[in-house]
Amino acid sequence: MKHSVVSTSGSEVRQIELSDEVFARRVSEGSIYHAIRNELANMRVGTASTKTRGEVAGSHRKPWRQKGTGRARAGTMQSPVRVGGGVAFGSRPRDYHYRIPRKAKRLAMMSILSQKAQNSALTVVEDFEVPDGKTRNLAAIVGPLAEKRRSVLVVSGDAPMIKRAGRNIPWCTVLSAARLRAHDLFYAERVFLTESAAKELNGKYGNAAQSESEEVTS
């Protein structure tokens, strides 16, 4: 498919060829769901912890005798039913990390890119640099294009200066084409690809996309 390439001022400068398998395929909502769920789970630190009745400080003697007081039987003050006692079935440190099939993740990325292209939320921008890494310089380029809506800028390679400049822009997230995040892409109102990043995505997902996607169900 043909797609316009715009300059940093917003005017069209030329056309670029985007792979139909990456930017014009049928959207797999199931793979998008699993990719986002996987990313959010892997971000959890899993450090929530509560104390059981065996870990709460205090004496373990019987608070009062078994019979004759008129009160309910009690064996310890660390019981979960008492204030200051332990917690029954409370949170414990755990690892939430899990993996999904690589092909499912690739299908999710292609589905999101295709969805953005179909909704006219995808823009290819000619390559640019922010040599000084200043936030105001990147905001001056992306701001008029994004209209300060929630956006993602995908760049080719590491682009350390562009990433540095984008750290303090609350409405813009800078990602590398080699390390996309489904959550950021899916919830972005606008997705901007530099021309080099678009070509990189063509090569990364376009070559084996068709054969792989046939093996993954939505």
Alpha helix positions (H), the chain: 20-23, 29-43, 102-118, 135-146, 160-166, 182-187, 195-206, 209-213
- CATH 3.40.1370.10 residue ranges in the chain? 2-44+100-213
Residue 213 reports pLDDT greater than 50: no
Could you say which DSSP state residue 205 is in? H
* Amino acid, single-letter form, for residue 44: R
**Mean pLDDT for all residues in the chain:** 92
- Quote the CA–CA distance of 197 and 155 in Å, as a whole number: 5
Domain 2-44+100-213 superfamily per CATH: Ribosomal protein L4/L1 (3.40.1370.10)
Contact predicate 145/128, CB 8 Å:
no
pLDDT tens digits, 136-172: 999 999 999 998 899 999 999 889 999 999 999 999 9
User: Cα-flanking dihedrals φ and ψ of residue 157, to 5°?
Assistant: 75, -160
pLDDT tens digits, 63-92: 999 999 999 999 999 999 999 999 999 999
Global pTM reads: 0.83
- Quote the CA–CA distance of 195 and 178 in Å, as a whole number: 14
